[in-house]
Amino acid sequence: MFDAWIQESLSQPSATIMGFCDNRYANGGDHYFVKYMQNKLQQQQLRVNAYAGWNTNGNTIGTIVSNVILLHLFRDYESNAMFTSLRLIEDHEYQADHRQFLNSYIN
């Protein structure tokens, strides 16, 4: 059902803005969810979609809600692509991988 809804939304001719809250784990994104997003979204669609997987649900949801509202109001697609890319690097790559490795290395 979710898959069909995503495909339908992405096939619309106008820019459909979607926000992806990655809340499965605290302190980092879910690898399977990010891989799913990467398979469904093309690179240029980072411009019209939002992603966050922060350290708490509140931070994640707050980031997505504000990001989607600002994107809808101002249509600043280039800034959004950079912001979404940074969220993927910070929340998915750093928090979920590198930070966990550093914690295990120190302990």
Cross-strand pairs, 49: 18
The pLDDT tens digits for 26-44 are 778 898 988 888 888 876 6
The pLDDT tens digits for 75-101 are 998 999 999 999 999 988 888 788 778
What pTM, to 2 d.p., does this model score?
Answer: 0.83
